[in-house]
Amino acid sequence: MNALAGEGYEVEFRPDEDCVRMSGALRLGGLAEYAPISAMLEEALQGRERLVLDLTGLEFLNSSGIATLSRFVISARNHAQCGLVIRGSNEIAWQGKSLNNLKRLMPSLELRFD
């Protein structure tokens, strides 16, 4: 398992479960600070037929974070061989609208709300 953690957040890549899990409050400063997370997401896409991005524990995500997620979804769309599933939570207000917007970038994206 690969993991990145900082103040108030954690990002875990579990290759055996085809899953990347983000939790806590992600408010890194700018795309440069999100680069390690982007790299982890890109790594997770490689050679995989299916990837689950679990955001059910991600309570807060700043604008740079949603931009990073948007770029990742575009990248996943261009990796046509890998199906992407994003799990969100109805309890977290920002996820409803923002995750649905990500689906516009990748119509084949599967959204699941717990």
Partner 1 sequence: MPGTDPYVKVLDIEQTLADLNRAMDQLRRERDDLEIALTTAVEHGDAIEAQLELANRQLQREVRERRAIEVQLRQLVATISQKSRDLEVVLQTITEHSDQMDLHWLDRYRQSEDSARRDPLTGLANRRMLDERMADEWARARRQRQWLAMLLCDVDHFKTYNDLHGHQAGDDCLKRIAETLCQELHRHNDLIARYGGEEFVLLLPDTDEVGAQRVAESIQRAFEKAALPHENSPHGRITLSIGAAAMIPDEDDEGALFAEVDRRLYLAKQQGRNLIVASS
In angstroms, the CA 50 to CA 52 distance is: 7
Closer residue to partner 1 (CB): 45 or 105: 105
Figure out which of the listed residues 16, 32, 46, 97 binds partner 1, where binding follows CB under 8 A: 97
Q: Quick one: which segment of 31-39, 43-51, 59-67, 82-90 binds partner 1 (CB under 8 A)?
A: 59-67
Q: Is 63 a residue that touches partner 1 (CB under 8 A)?
A: yes
Q: Is 16 a residue that touches partner 1 (CB under 8 A)?
A: no
In angstroms, the CA 37 to CA 59 distance is: 17
Q: Quick one: which segment of 10-18, 48-56, 60-68, 82-90 binds partner 1 (CB under 8 A)?
A: 60-68
Applying CB under 8 A, the residues found at the interface with partner 1 are: 60-63, 66-67, 70-71, 74, 93-94, 97-98, 101-102, 104-105
